[in-house]
Amino acid sequence: MSLDITGERYSRLIAIRYVGIRNGHNFWLFRCDCGTEKQIDLSRVRRGDTRSCGCLGREMRHRKHPPRQRNNTSTEWIIDENGNLSRTIGEP
Ligand SMILES: [Zn+2]
């Protein structure tokens, strides 16, 4: 191993210890801010391709589709007998 990054932080990941070479890549054991420990290819972490154990991606996907909030305005829309959309409440 040519590089000792023990204790270094990469985004959410902190390097714990060197694991070994797999498929020609240096793998390190990282601990994520969420508490998960995971063995990750160091070059991916250093490039910024991997920034968490995977929880970051899950959170971002979750944030993309927030729970739909109920619209609590006093305005209601109805279709009248002519097929037109009209407002029943909250009209000035
Ligand atoms: Zn995590």
Question: Is residue 39 situated within a structural domain?
Answer: yes
Cβ atoms within 10 Å of 40's Cβ, excluding its own: 23
pTM: 0.63
Protein residues placing their CB within 5 Å of the ion ligand 1? 32, 34, 36, 52-53, 55
Q: Considering the domain boundaries, does residue 8 fall inside one?
A: yes
**What's the CA-to-centroid distance between 90 and ligand 1, angstroms?**
47
Residues 6+ apart with CB under 8 A from 75: 87, 89, 90
Q: Is residue 74 situated within a structural domain?
A: no
Share of the chain above pLDDT 90, in %: 57
Work out the pLDDT band at 92, boundaries 50, 70, 90: low
Each residue of 21-64: pLDDT tens digit?
Answer: 999 999 999 999 999 999 999 999 999 999 999 998 777 777 66
Q: What residues form DSSP beta bridges with 72? A: none
Is residue 73 in some structural domain?
A: no
**C-alpha 54 – ligand 1 centre gap (Å):** 6
Look at residue 36 and tell me if it is in a domain.
Answer: yes
Domains in the chain: how many in total?
1
pLDDT band at 89 (very low <50, low <70, confident <90, very high): low
Ligand 1 centroid–CA 92 distance in Å is 51
Residue 25 contacts residue 15 (beta carbons within 8 Å): no
Q: Which two tokens stand for residue 67?
A: 């729970």
7 is in which domain, residue-wise? 1-67
Ligand 1 centroid to Cα of residue 37, in Å, is 8
Residue 33 falls within a domain, yes or no?
A: yes
In a domain, 84, yes or no: no
